[in-house]
Structure 1
Amino acid sequence: MKAKAKNQLLKASKATKENVIGQVITFLCATIIVTLTLAIIFFVASRGIRAFVVDHISLGQFLTGSEWNPGTKNAQGQPIAGSLPMIIGSFGVTLLAALIATPFSLAIGIYMTEYASKRMRRLIQPMIELFTGVPSVVYGFTGLMVIVPITRKLFGGTGFGILPGALVLFVMILPTITSMVVDTLQRIPVSFRQAALALGATKWQSIYLIVLRASIPGILTAIIFGMARAFGEALAVQMVIGNSPLLPTNLVSPTATLTSQLTSQIGNTIMNSVENDALWALALVLLLMSLVFNLVAKWIGKRGELK
């Protein structure tokens, strides 16, 4: 009996020791992640704010100005750095891509959760996830060789603009939105569907009136995350949007996004120069918008939790 009790104490002591070690390791990992995140935010914010404090770029002119030429100054002696064309370009391609992708994602999600057999779901799921692993340059090159010439033929002009950028992003964010929509629809309890059918509703009525309405917060979260993914995309959009910091007059006029302007110009500037600081200010706007997208998604998800 004493030997048995001693073994139990040793096992309990070992389990406690392993538990403490596990807690320490996970705490250190979480601390590293939080520290890295805060460090990135601090670094980008400090570099971006420098454009307004040191280089005296007007915040109002920066957000509403339509001309991007930080190397020259206006009549007030302030660098001309208007980011409005890039902001409009970023929101234009993001919103249009989400608008196109959402119906497709809903249709695929409804089919996979409500109509498809297990065999068909096992076939469709890997095909959707396969798009996630395709490099951005492949999407961009495909858009450059296929979408841009078609746009040029149909609408004239150069073929570059918000429309081809949105079409490329549509394909890129489709797997993200679709996967999250499928997960959301699968989390709806079966009892909801059974109750609707028991009351005489058809299958489609139960989907439309019960399942989709109960899934609205999750679907909105999926759309927001897809938009965040599109908003931060750089290379693929840069190859098809024209990358000209001009206010777009239509969906097929060349313009630029925050990310395309950053990736194409940051290597051509000198550290601590006005041009470099202005680009860091664009990076700060991009970071703030990404944080807003994530906060909105978290807020929607929290409000839509099933009790």
Structure 2
Amino acid sequence: MNKIQKQLLKPSKATRQDQMGKIISLICVSFIMVLTVSIIGFIAIHGMATFYENHASITNFLFGTEWNPGKLGPDGKPQVGALPMIAASFAVTLLAAVIATPFAVAVALYMTELAPKRGARMLQPVIELLVGIPSVVYGFIGLVVVVPAMRISFGGTGFGVLAGAIVLFVMILPTITSLTIDSLKQVPDSYRKASLALGATKWQTIYKVILRAALPGILTAIIFGMARAFGEALAVQMVIGNASLMPSSLITPTSTLTSQLTSQMGDTIMGTLPNNALWSLALVLLLMSVFFNILVKVIGKRGEMK
């Protein structure tokens, strides 16, 4: 084989760059997969320790209402009833989503269907600014403004599910709005033109055609917003009251999974029952995150089928 043939068979610089890029990408993807599996395994091992080391009952954990991991109940088992935190987490999340969805859809429709280009360009930075505000700022505003307003309006301490839902409403609003805007923009213009050509008004086209075509994307946006609300810790902790009590109303102090974790984790010793119980709460949060992701996938597939 002469020198010219060897030169022709030698990989070019572009080919070597492509191979190097594939190797680097594979290393990064593998690292992310190993990291994800490690985090899930770490949380699962520590979360299940409450049941196989401390002999707590899974049924009592999911449906019990007494949360006092430092003491044993009359039956000799740990008092790790997490139902108040689970119920409060779902209540705050659902209420925040119910409040935020109409506002988010209305803003998204205005920006995509009604507003002139200049108006849409002015609103976009406002939405992006809401995303960039730290959680502690939202929590502090809720503590100074929302909680006193709840106290004046409804009595009591002002802390509770309603105060937490109002704070989360503002926090998840830009998330739902941005994803809803993307969904509305993906609706083909031919749908709009065909509807108007058949004699439908602008509002009939929006309601009967655009919203229905973009419904899977809007539902996905709502679920993403709920996922963020469910995992929010600091802002909710500042306005919900942090009492491990079953919420009897929207204005009574209670505690969510995240607020209980952030307020108690630093006061426990690794490997003890109180610490393991908190890891069990973290495991519930992880399972809910997985549930939200599966729900997004299911809705996305149904949207593709249509």
Q: Could you tell me the TM-score, scaled by structure 1's length?
A: 0.96
Q: Note the alpha carbon deviations across 1:32-78, whole angstroms, 9 max, x for none.
A: 11111111100000000001000011000000011100111122211
73-82 or 178-187, which moves further after superposition? 73-82
| Shift in Å, 1:242 | 0.1
- Counterpart secondary structure, 1:217: helix
Question: Per-residue displacement from partner, 1:197-255 (whole Å, max 9, x unpaired)?
Answer: 11111111111101100111100000000000000000000000000010011000000
Q: Distance in 1 between matches of 2:9 and 2:160?
A: 69
Residue 102 of structure 2 corresponds to 103
**SS of alignment partner, residue 259 of structure 1:** helix
Q: What is the percent sequence identity of the aligned residues?
A: 62
Task: Tell me the distance in 2 between the aligned counterparts of 1:195 and 1:297.
Answer: 30
Match in the other structure for 1:14: 13
User: Alpha-carbon deviations, 1:72-99, whole Å to 9, x = none?
Assistant: 1122211010000000110010000000
5+ unaligned residues in a row in structure 1: which ranges? none
Equivalent AA in structure 2 for residue 271 of structure 1: M
Tell whether 2:51 aligns with 1:52.
yes
SS at match of 1:45: helix
Q: How does 1:136-215 map to 2 (within 5 A)?
A: 136-215=135-214
Q: Which amino acid aligns with 1:273?
A: T
Q: Tell me, in whole angstroms, the C-alpha distance in 1 between the residues paired with 2:185 and 2:9.
A: 44
In structure 1, the partner of 2:275 is 276
- Stretch deviating more after TM superposition (255-264 or 288-297): 288-297
Structure 1 consecutive aligned stretches of length 4 or more whose deviation exceeds 3 Å: 8-12
Moved more, 122-131 or 233-242: 122-131
Count of residues in Structure 1 that have an aligned counterpart in Structure 2:
302
Measured in 1, the distance between the counterparts of 2:230 and 2:72 equals 30
User: Which amino acid counterpart does residue 111 of structure 1 have in structure 2?
Assistant: Y
Quote the offset at 1:28 in angstroms.
Answer: 1.1
CA separation in 2, counterparts of 1:129 and 1:53? 46
What residue number does 1:260 align with? 259
Distance of 2:74 and 2:105 partners within structure 1 = 52
One-letter code of the match for 1:234?
A
Deviation at 1:306, TM superposition (A): 6.8
Aligned partner of 2:75 in structure 1 is 76
SS at match of 2:69: strand
Which stretch has the larger CA shift, 243-252 or 29-38? Answer: 29-38
1:285 maps to 284
Deviation sequence 1:103-144 (CA, Å, 0-9, x none): 000000100000111111111111101111100000000000
Q: Counterparts of 1:128 and 1:306 in 2: how far apart (Å)? A: 31
- CA separation in 2, counterparts of 1:44 and 1:283? 7
Instruction: Kindly report the root-mean-square deviation, in angstroms, between the aligned alpha carbons of the 2 structures.
Output: 1.6
Structure 2 residue identity aligned to 1:239? M
1:85 aligns with 2:84: yes
Deviates more, 1:10-19 or 1:268-277: 10-19
Residue by residue over 1:235-282, the C-alpha shift from the partner in whole angstroms, topping out at 9 and shown as x without a partner, is 000000000010011000000000000000011011110000000000
What is the CA-CA distance between 1:296 and the residue it aligns to?
A: 0.4
246-255 vs 295-304, greater mean Cα deviation: 295-304
